[in-house]
Chains A and B, each alone.
Chain A
């Protein structure tokens, strides 16, 4: 394995050929680690903050457009439960919600009754992958498993690889791995690249999302560099956080990661997906993320094959907003089925 990784790092001949999976987007074949590109990375914090601070004043959606955008956001949600008190029944309930995230009468009123609106995925710990796969049946909703010693990512490496393989075996179509933050904080980019390559290999046909733990990385430059290295190593998605760090997804971190995605596409032609996670709980917040996706990356990144939102309570707020749009009256949480 060591030799194979070294080979990958040193030559342009990267293994994975581009294959279609159950996702619409192409897999990321990765590329050799290009350290000079990583080291050239510059991110100016204040400039980044100014961009995200002014964006809500530059872009907004109202009325029907807003309803449509929020509904689109629903289709991008990785409906998530990652709690120590999770049980099979809890996971089943969540799966039911994923399949019917918005009340049918509201969808009808929006003229969207004929569309199969579901969330983007269900996201659970390995233990509940089988439960979720069964509960979701033939709905087409993929199950994502957090893995590699989530959330700290400090389990023995071989166990992390085994964990991925086990989740894939149980039917997970997406694996959300966590990187070893130490590699970023110590600037050990080769080690980060190597572990990511191995995770990617262990995933097989399952898409792999690399969770950077941006709250731990602290600086935007670290975030940008880690993003690049993970993409070079074959990540299909890059994801902000576990939801367990002190700071989770922010617009500034998002902008930084989106620009890394754009730079990667600029050089390789490969489109990488993005998943902010943690802290996005209000409808008005998710719209700002959507504006950033559209403005910085383009229309294609508003669809679930390139955009996922890791969230647990966001859906409930969107449901209220949609009902308000339909009826003109402010809604209440208890008017919508619990997830």
Chain B
């Protein structure tokens, strides 16, 4: 008692906190049971890796070994995929209610073992037990509950969709367990089976989860965990029997995955990096905003893809804000992950620590002012202090590169416009945080930020019902909510589409004219920025009937024409903020004007394609109907209001993706064009369309319809010419946000591969023919969903 008593007096005098360690007995016991090494978890049991190769995983806070893990090679991945394939067939046949029961059981199981999972996660990742216990694990359980619900109502809510099949999932080390939940819950709920590769630094909670799930009665083969490093992930990405890859990680790796899966037909979700702005206006609750920074960049040691790492503060309050921020930094505590009295734990691995150190050095060299909290760091592990780089210039690497550590950079702005400009001036577009007590200002800025998630007067809030995901090079696809479900489904109407057959373009048979009164010559031009334009190269290409008769010539568009069209499309950005009513009116008006010239279009279609008069007429009528459909949707394709667990709402708003390239299918020269362009412009996108290569005249005839229908200049641009070449220019264009390309399998592959540059959203058909007259396959939500990104704006209430 003597030692203890003196202790009390000491604490009474200095009022320090003292140690408050969470016990790790159970976690260590679990690790001890697997002391001989973990196998992969395949088909409901741990199996040794085929090669017998293994690697060790370490505790970031101490550098001590934690466990031995198997390295998955081809045989292991093959085995896992085969088992998943087998299980998936039966799983998808189960009624939704049966799957809901399993998901529910997994949610309950997580809650029953919450502390064990939390402690293992903290040991393995180095993050504070507070975060695993209070955030990661409860959110994971919530994810399974939420998706149990989707399984239950899948047959009514997603009646026109079927499961994707076998899904390969690759998750990062920053939220190992939460990302596992984000990936597994929707995949399983909607009838898929999974092969998951956890990050090599942090595989343990995935293995623990698989073990517990099996014990909770989940059928074998639905969750297969293959551990290993990048090579193992690559095997999964390349596997021919995997139907989808869902990846969360760095933008660089995401880009590689996009390239490697190009043309494979695999569906893809990429959740990548960010450099998310944290905007503080002069009418913000500054103390609240300072605390927001703590939650933004000193949460999980800043190893958060959506971390508010780029502080933008209005010049007038900058000095005060920085003073208060620095003061706050000084009270942060960095310590052992299992200490219940800390704000930050360890960086995940020495390699990450040195990356952070070198980036900060670089930032200082480039003129940033360094401020680090003068606080004690534990010895021995990978620790880094809370860091602020202020006065960062936009040219500095730290202003644009994701540091992925506890390092915020800051700069000032003068006006809301400048704040938006600075915020959006990045390749990324994952998240943003806006701090202002003025509702008009905060919501206006939120609406204008290029980000998948915006938090108003808050940061890093998550919920299973609210979709999460980025724009631009932060990736595509959403996790959570209804939109997240679609990532694990495919349209029933597209099953069984056959490979497209395209008749070869006949040779032109030259025929001399006669002495009858000739038709007045008409020159079909390109249509750029609302004006008819001659092609840059000033060459033309012939348009030939099936019988080889020359029926016209169109401009031979080239890369410069595409460039000009993209510029014009960007200049028409006002279209996205035009009222939905206005967009609807214009779509109806286009239909009206097309109807007035229906016969001429039918004749043209007939002449170009050789279809019967009735078939040509049917195509025109279907085009008119389709325009009406999207006129109808223009003011009805709306967002939803989520009610996440906070006093407030999250607005899920569909937003135009921006400038979208459209490479039209060779067939159905008018209807194919309308079917792709109309949903895009209905939702506020601006389009650069490459019409059917063999039959472009329906589209060039169409620009006079556009001219008479009040379509603002630049909203629809038409560039005729060689489809594949023009598609290539669009795919590599870094100012094109999305690309829809219908045609050959080679076109799809090329478009997907080259779009990796700026990670534009792609929509391709892999050479499968769409029946454009079939409304279930060729119009409606299937297209509208691909024309927008959902932005979730979190708005807490309260005074």
Contact = CB atoms under 8 A, between A and B. Distances in A.
B796 A46 contact: yes
B340 A57 contact: yes
A259 B287 contact: yes
A72 interface: yes
B286 A58 contact: no
Contacts, number: 124
Interface in B1-44: 1-2, 4-12, 15-20
Interface stretch (A148-156, A168-176, A185-193, A294-302): A294-302
Contacts of A264: none
B217 interface: no
Interface string A218-235: 011100000000000000
B135 to A, nearest CB: 9
B288 A68 contact: no
A61 B18 CA distance: 6
Given A45-B799, A46-B457, A221-B799, A64 B130 contact: no
Contact of A299 (B4, B15, B133): B15
A111 B4 contact: yes
A65 B5 contact: no
A176 B77 CA distance: 73
A72 B458 contact: no
Interface string B344-358: 000000000000000
A11 B671 CA distance: 79
A110 B342 contact: no
Interface of chain A, main secondary structure:
helix
Interface residues of A, number: 39
Contacts of A299: 15
B341 A58 contact: yes
B20 A109 contact: no
Nearest to B646: A46
B799 A219 contact: yes
Residue from the set A45, A71, A112 with the largest chain B CB neighbour count within 10 Å? A45
A36 interface: no
Contacts of A65: 7, 11, 16-18, 20
A54 B288 CA distance: 13
B437 A44 contact: yes
B366 interface: no
A60 B458 contact: no
Nearest to B15: A302
A59 B18 CA distance: 10
Nearest to A293: B15
A48 interface: yes
A115 B11 CA distance: 14
A64 B18 contact: yes
B15 A69 contact: yes
B1 to A, nearest CB: 7
Interface string A47-69: 11111001001111111110111
A42 B286 contact: yes
A336 to B, nearest CB: 18
Q: Which of B2, B20, B289, B435 has most chain A Cβ within 10 Å?
A: B20
B284 interface: yes
B137 to A, nearest CB: 13
B647 interface: yes
Contact of B6 (A57, A111, A259, A302): A111
Contacts of A295: 331
28 contacts: A43-B288, A44-B285, A45-B799, A46-B646, A46-B648, A46-B797, A46-B798, A47-B288, A47-B458, A47-B796, A49-B798, A54-B295, A57-B133, A62-B19, A62-B20, A65-B17, A65-B18, A68-B10, A68-B15, A69-B11, A109-B5, A110-B9, A111-B9, A112-B5, A112-B8, A219-B799, A295-B331, A299-B15
Given A58-B130, A111-B6, 17 more contacts: A43-B288, A44-B435, A45-B796, A46-B457, A46-B458, A47-B289, A47-B291, A57-B133, A58-B333, A64-B18, A65-B20, A68-B8, A72-B15, A111-B2, A111-B7, A115-B12, A302-B15
Interface of B: 1-2, 4-12, 15-20, 130, 133-134, 283-289, 291-292, 295, 323, 331, 333, 340-343, 435, 437, 457-458, 646-648, 796-799
